[in-house]
Structure 1
Amino acid sequence: MDPVVHFELPCDDRERLARFFERAFGWKAQMFGPEMGNYVVVTTAEQDARPDAPRGAINGGFFTRTAEMPAQFPGIVIAVRDIRDSMRKVGEAGGQVLGEPMDIPGVGAYVAFLDTEGNRSSMLQPLPMGR
């Protein structure tokens, strides 16, 4: 079974959204620059979804809406062992993979997809721990 390990929310103003979640829920935001698509990583728990983490605790991120990206809605990120094999399975199950995997330095390979109902989610093949 492949677990949910991350969530993503789209935004128009990343600073405003980060301030909201910090003030409302105490989340911490780490903002990246253009080389990482201006992505914002948000920490919602002291530990992320590792085997020793509190049950059900995951962290997430915010991405800036752009005209080029399809299906910019809240979504989940699912950890997979083999991203290419999982891309094939998504297609066989009736979903649609949105492009090719991109490498996120220090994290792993990532690609978004649509399920059979048009919901946008993503999958991540994490790098081995300690890399």
Structure 2
Amino acid sequence: MSKHEKIDYVEFPSSNLEATKKFFSKAFGWKFTDYGPEYCDFANEGINGGFFKSEKKSTTEAGGALVIFYSSELESTQQKVKAAGGKIIKDIFSFPGGRRFHFIEPSGNEFAVWSDKGVE
């Protein structure tokens, strides 16, 4: 499959890069590469991307795009997010074809996790 004109990289704001890296490392096992004190990137996590130092945040309420992870064990992933310091803002709910929850990571960015497992 050609990479031509496909989404290749995504960047997020982070008011606290160390807290953001710690959260994603603990909750999802991500590895980061630092490029100075105001930028880090991640790779091989479904899509490559990075975090840049900023006081802004991305939430659906503010019109930001929602990045959604997949999990084959939704409840387990929700517990990992909580244990890593994530704040659940929408508990697990059903929608046609699956279930999901939304969370805020330590810098205030909103993400979601969905699963098609456990759907009747």
After TM superposition, is the score higher than 0.5?
no
TM-score normalised per structure 1: 0.40
